[in-house]
Chains A and B, each alone.
Chain A
């Protein structure tokens, strides 16, 4: 099933065009990796999917992005409700400088998802369990989230993102600031999360894309050069540029 359908998406920063005519379908409950050299526009595309580019004054987005057949670039789209459905995990772990509990309960609180303290406790617990962090932190839920290690912080951010049960999770190079062990933990987690969520991950590491994703899109200079199943892209790409990038000849 196709969850997200991007049609002819152009993105401009002021007068400079950053993305050209991107059309990409994203499968439900699968992991889609976006790869490409730095500055190719893969993060920009990711941020289009939850309209985070709205924050940047000079950025404008054209084209259609259909999520559940609804165009999120339409004027009638409410960004607050959109971002409730589409969670995001950033490159650098960015927990709020508050307690672990407050970090995870923030989303459910502002969206009114829990009627009682008990319900909230449950949401926090399941979110942390799903993020494979519960066992490590269950005794110190009321300590600041910034006191955790980098890998733990990133899993806390994932717990925060899934606390509102989003349909889609966007991950912008979630492991680039982590060591190999923490990276392995997050990758395992991604595999687990795709059962309930559709995941789109931007990554610099081709090995990571090959390990975690089912589909891959290759971006270069603001264009989507090629996309398809990860197997095909890595083993038998159609485009020579893709071939060159995958084999490490540039990028």
Chain B
């Protein structure tokens, strides 16, 4: 009898030990996947924050630029920079033939004449003199410099020629290639050229969409939640509404995209590809999330507080507005932020309403066409150029950073402002 009891006890301890082990290995697996994912993203993406520059001497030859003596600022603005830009690239190899000259030109971005122009606008005294100017390297050379380019492939299978590599290696040997922080990744709009493409357009698009979404979804959802929780009678009809709100939260997001396409664009004729339409579509999606969060946090306010206020002679409206709603706000707000974070990462509905269009301008208002960060990831992931690979990861990093900050904020609100009941 006694021995049996001992055995049983041992068995129970062992079962607990086993269970702990299962739990620990589950957590270990989850962390492992997360680490692999983050490592992959970071290791491909970090190089996108660096940009390769060629330092090329440029002769600001007034004659080639069709400038008279003592030009005004406007003259400098209107001058022709293409010739001197071409000349400075050709000068890298004075003996180049026509084909090689063409290849030399393609070693920098098509932005090169504008970069040279900026230099002269900054300092008009350079006219007639020679100065070394930083020119954006082409995306392929950028990859070569970062060591991501398969140089040992046969020449006819790569976009960089042996000749270009030879010149580039010479420049590297002379210290005329430099890597600097890639500001243009944050300030440029999208571009077909990987070395010039940036996230400014999609970033602003995302911000505008989220703002529109917040301004529509938050007030509607909070009012709906307060009414349902505090005022509505409990009957079949309100039960029906509640079930439908929960169903709405489970509807796949692409369906909301179709709704946006069919109703907002087709019937109301709102401008296509704009954050306005994107925001409205996302707000439909966020609405049930916020309603559910707000109702949960209203429910969490102890009934004793409502009773206390009512017994003091407060009306139902006063009880709700003075006590219940303020006490539920932390939970509501953090639910809202989590809903917005979901909306920020949403891709499918935005593709349907046309925010997938190629936009190379930075939107100034929700009425301008724009992309959004997740859609930008999708667009770049579809592009063939090698230079976009790191951009995809970098864009994911920016998006993830944003989501982490938002979720952190939600946590802080929850912990800091939530009242403790004794």
Determine the chain A residues whose CB is within 8 A of the CB of B43 once the complex forms: none
Compute how far the CA of A88 lies from the CA of B309 in the bound complex, rounded to whole angstroms: 10
| A94 in contact with B305 given A57-B233, A57-B234, A110-B318 (CB within 8 Å) | yes
Determine the chain A residues whose CB is within 8 A of the CB of B314 once the complex forms: 80, 106, 110
Asked whether, in the complex, the Cβ of A52 is within 8 Å of the Cβ of B310, the reply is yes
Among residues of A, the one whose C-beta sits closest to the C-beta of B422 is A146
| A80 in contact with B308 given A97-B419, A146-B422 (CB within 8 Å) | no
Q: Within the complex, which residue of B233, B310, B322, B419 is in contact with A83, where a contact is CB–CB below 8 Å?
A: B310
Q: Within the complex, which residue of B302, B306, B308, B420 is in contact with A157, where a contact is CB–CB below 8 Å?
A: B308
Q: How many residues of chain A have a CB within 8 Å of chain B?
A: 26
Q: How many residues of chain B have a CB within 8 Å of chain A?
A: 23
Is A5's beta carbon under 8 Å from chain B? no
Determine the chain A residues whose CB is within 8 A of the CB of B304 once the complex forms: 90, 92, 94
| A83 in contact with B311 given A57-B234, A97-B327, A110-B318 (CB within 8 Å) | yes
Is B93's beta carbon under 8 Å from chain A? no
Among residues of B, the one whose C-beta sits closest to the C-beta of A83 is B313
Asked whether, in the complex, the Cβ of B313 is within 8 Å of the Cβ of A84, the reply is yes
Is B117's beta carbon under 8 Å from chain A? no
Compute how far the CA of A83 lies from the CA of B313 in the bound complex, rounded to whole angstroms: 5
Compute how far the CA of A161 lies from the CA of B311 in the bound complex, rounded to whole angstroms: 8
B325 shortest CB reach to chain A, Å: 13
Asked whether, in the complex, the Cβ of A96 is within 8 Å of the Cβ of B305, the reply is yes
Asked whether, in the complex, the Cβ of A94 is within 8 Å of the Cβ of B307, the reply is yes
Is A203's beta carbon under 8 Å from chain B? no
Determine the chain B residues whose CB is within 8 A of the CB of A87 once the complex forms: 311-312
Compute how far the CA of A50 lies from the CA of B310 in the bound complex, rounded to whole angstroms: 10
Asked whether, in the complex, the Cβ of B310 is within 8 Å of the Cβ of A110, the reply is no
Encode contact with A along B324-347: 1 for CB under 8 Å, 0 otherwise. Answer: 000100000000000000000000
| A90 in contact with B310 given A57-B234, A80-B315, A97-B327 (CB within 8 Å) | no
| A96 in contact with B308 given A80-B313, A107-B313 (CB within 8 Å) | yes
Compute how far the CA of A37 lies from the CA of B309 in the bound complex, rounded to whole angstroms: 28
Compute how far the CA of A111 lies from the CA of B310 in the bound complex, rounded to whole angstroms: 13
Asked whether, in the complex, the Cβ of B233 is within 8 Å of the Cβ of A107, the reply is no
A179 shortest CB reach to chain B, Å: 15
Is B323's beta carbon under 8 Å from chain A? yes
Determine the chain A residues whose CB is within 8 A of the CB of B323 once the complex forms: 96
Asked whether, in the complex, the Cβ of A55 is within 8 Å of the Cβ of B233, the reply is no
Q: Within the complex, which residue of B234, B302, B310 is in contact with A55, where a contact is CB–CB below 8 Å?
A: B310
Determine the chain A residues whose CB is within 8 A of the CB of B318 once the complex forms: 110
Determine the chain B residues whose CB is within 8 A of the CB of A55 once the complex forms: 306-307, 310
| A160 in contact with B312 given A94-B307, A96-B323 (CB within 8 Å) | yes
Q: Within the complex, which residue of B233, B309, B310, B313 is in contact with A96, where a contact is CB–CB below 8 Å?
A: B309
Compute how far the CA of A107 lies from the CA of B322 in the bound complex, rounded to whole angstroms: 12
Determine the chain A residues whose CB is within 8 A of the CB of B234 once the complex forms: 57
A139 shortest CB reach to chain B, Å: 21
**Sample (30) of A-B pairs whose CB atoms are under 8 Å apart:** A50-B311, A52-B310, A52-B311, A55-B307, A55-B310, A57-B233, A81-B313, A83-B310, A83-B311, A83-B312, A83-B313, A84-B313, A87-B311, A88-B311, A90-B307, A90-B311, A92-B304, A94-B304, A96-B308, A96-B309, A96-B323, A97-B305, A97-B421, A106-B322, A107-B312, A110-B313, A146-B419, A146-B421, A146-B422, A161-B311
Given contacts A82-B313, A107-B312, A110-B314, 4 further A-B pairs with CB under 8 A are A83-B312, A95-B308, A97-B305, A97-B327
List residues of B whose CB falls within 8 A of some A CB. Answer: 233-234, 302, 304-315, 318, 322-323, 327, 419-422
List residues of A whose CB falls within 8 A of some B CB. Answer: 50, 52, 55, 57, 80-84, 87-88, 90, 92, 94-97, 106-107, 110-111, 146, 157, 160-161, 164
